[in-house]
């Protein structure tokens, strides 16, 4: 990488921290020179392998520590593959083997091999990026997600999603297992996410804004893209899969909710509850990605049956629904790819 003022910029450092503020009489430098210092050599800036940034990439944009980390992660992937995905998919419980069954795999990279990326500690979450094709659609799949309750900050938990955007993915497809709050839901149902409630979890955008990725105050009035929702709806219909619609609420976990909490969430308009996805959707919209998501209702939420909740039950029920879930997700992605 090109040294900046004789010194190599590392992803852990902020340019301002290292060099201090620019002197008042500083000569303006070409934007491309700054880009090269910060983002790497020209080889990473063209030929389709440069980080895709949809925000402000001018020389004035601040280089935050989080952005430095992201650039480091991106470079680490680009040393191994120049694959350019269009759709990013996050696999929730029950879809753990989706990559093996439904993706023509070109390459896979363990989270452990990407410096600066937190990894997944949950049973059933494998912990790697898979690059490949679903039909003709180039995809990147997070096989195993990273949760807030594993001890990551919200910002760290969404690093993988931001990275997939920087690798070129335009659409984020979220999947998860969730507890049904809506009394008309049954275990094994699928719910198309129409909106979310994020009020119980720290927002992943807290901290200095990453201007290169997106704006300080991103709009959240339509997080879940109408066209993508309509594609998923028509795909479900073709497959004869009944689809519920509703609002997903993310709580921190890892404990399941109490019956009183579920009554509260129902009063707030929630239809399903889980421990993921919302912060990922926020980070993706911030980055300018289009977002869609499906919850597999693995159980009825706390207090709605006599049974206590367990992760094993969630996993078992999600595994049972997996064949239909796989079909719905892969067919939808083929159709979504056709519109990009
Ligand atoms: N609550 C929270 N998260 C979940 C649940 C639940 O009931 N089921 C699956 N993930």
Query: Per-residue pLDDT tens for 262-275?
Result: 999 999 999 999 99
In a domain, 236, yes or no: yes
> Scanning the structure block, which residue is given the tokens 């952005």?
67
172 strand-pairing partners? 88, 291
pLDDT of residue 96: 78
Average pLDDT over residues 68-88: 94
In a domain, 8, yes or no: no
pLDDT of residue 113: 93
Task: Give the C-alpha distances (Å, rounded to integers) separating 255 from 73, 99, 112, 130, 258.
Answer: 31, 28, 26, 30, 9
Residues 212 and 326 reside in one and the same domain: yes
Residues 98 and 41 reside in one and the same domain: no
Comparing 71-80, 202-211, 219-228, 312-321, the range with the smallest average pLDDT is 312-321
Residues 28 and 77 reside in one and the same domain: no
Residues 42 and 112 reside in one and the same domain: no
Specify whether 302 is catalytic. no
Average pLDDT in the chain: 88
| Of 35, 178, 275, 322, catalytic | 275
Specify whether 281 is catalytic. no
Which residue, by CA, sits nearest to atom 9 of ligand 1? 178
Residues 172 and 111 reside in one and the same domain: yes
Residue 44 has pLDDT above 80, yes or no: no
Rounded CA separation 318/310 (Å): 12
In a domain, 6, yes or no: no
Residues 302 and 233 reside in one and the same domain: yes
In a domain, 187, yes or no: yes
Range of the domain at 45: 14-57
With the most atoms of ligand 1 within 8 angstroms of its CB, the residue from 264, 298, 320 to mutate is 298
Rounded CA separation 84/175 (Å): 21
Residues 100 and 115 reside in one and the same domain: yes
Residue 77 has pLDDT above 70, yes or no: yes
In a domain, 4, yes or no: no
With the most atoms of ligand 1 within 8 angstroms of its CB, the residue from 299, 313, 319 to mutate is 299
Q: Tell me if 74 CB under 6 Å of ligand 1.
A: no
Instruction: Note the residue count of the chain.
Output: 340
Residues 298 and 332 reside in one and the same domain: yes
| Of 35, 61, 166, 177, catalytic | 177
The CATH number of the domain holding residue 209 is 3.40.50.1580
Query: What's the pLDDT band for 288 if we cut at 50, 70, 90?
Result: very high
Residues 33 and 72 reside in one and the same domain: no
Dihedral sign (CA 106, 109, 114, 120): positive
Residues 151 and 229 reside in one and the same domain: yes
Q: Summarize pLDDT for 94-130 with one digit per residue, the tens.
A: 787 899 999 999 999 999 999 889 977 776 667 999 9
Q: Summarize pLDDT for 138-187 with one digit per residue, the tens.
A: 999 999 899 999 999 999 999 999 999 999 999 999 999 999 999 999 99
In a domain, 3, yes or no: no
Q: Summarize pLDDT for 202-255 with one digit per residue, the tens.
A: 999 999 999 999 999 999 999 999 999 999 999 999 999 999 999 999 999 999
Residues 191 and 111 reside in one and the same domain: yes
Residues 143 and 231 reside in one and the same domain: yes
Specify whether 46 is catalytic. no
In a domain, 66, yes or no: yes
Q: Could you give the number of structural domains in the chain? A: 2
């Amino acid at each position: 990488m090109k040294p900046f003022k004789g010194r190599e910029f590392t992803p852990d450092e902020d340019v301002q921290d290292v060099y201090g503020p620019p002197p008042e009489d500083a000569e303006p430098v070409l934007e491309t020179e700054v880009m090269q210092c910060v983002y790497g050599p020209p080889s990473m800036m063209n030929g389709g392998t440069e980080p895709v940034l949809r925000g402000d990439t001018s020389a004035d944009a601040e280089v935050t520590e989080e952005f430095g980390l992201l650039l480091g992660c991106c470079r680490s992937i680009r040393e191994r593959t120049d694959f350019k995905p269009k759709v990013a998919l996050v696999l929730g419980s029950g879809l753990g083997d989706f990559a093996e069954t439904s993706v023509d795999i070109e390459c896979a990279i363990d989270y452990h091999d990407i410096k600066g990326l937190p990894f997944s500690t949950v049973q059933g979450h494998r912990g790697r990026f898979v690059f490949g094709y679903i039909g003709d659609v180039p995809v990147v799949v997070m096989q195993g997600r990273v949760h807030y309750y594993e001890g990551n900050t919200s910002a760290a938990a969404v690093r993988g999603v931001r990275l997939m955007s920087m690798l070129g993915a335009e659409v984020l497809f979220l999947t998860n297992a969730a507890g049904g709050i809506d009394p008309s839901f049954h275990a094994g149902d699928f719910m198309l996410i129409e909106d979310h409630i994020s009020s119980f979890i720290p927002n992943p955008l807290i901290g200095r804004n990453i201007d290169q990725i997106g704006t300080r105050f991103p709009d959240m009035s339509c997080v879940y893209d109408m066209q993508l929702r309509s594609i998923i709806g028509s795909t479900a219909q073709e497959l004869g899969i009944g689809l519920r619609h509703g609002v997903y609420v993310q709580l921190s976990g890892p404990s399941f909710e109490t019956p009183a909490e579920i009554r509260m969430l129902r009063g707030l308009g929630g239809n399903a509850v889980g421990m993921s996805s919302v912060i990922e959707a926020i980070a993706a919209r911030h980055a300018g990605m289009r977002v869609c998501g499906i919850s597999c209702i693995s159980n009825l939420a706390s207090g709605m049956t006599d049974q206590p909740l367990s992760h094993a039950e969630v996993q078992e029920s999600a595994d049972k629904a997996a064949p239909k879930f796989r079909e719905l997700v892969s067919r939808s992605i083929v159709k979504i790819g056709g519109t990009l």
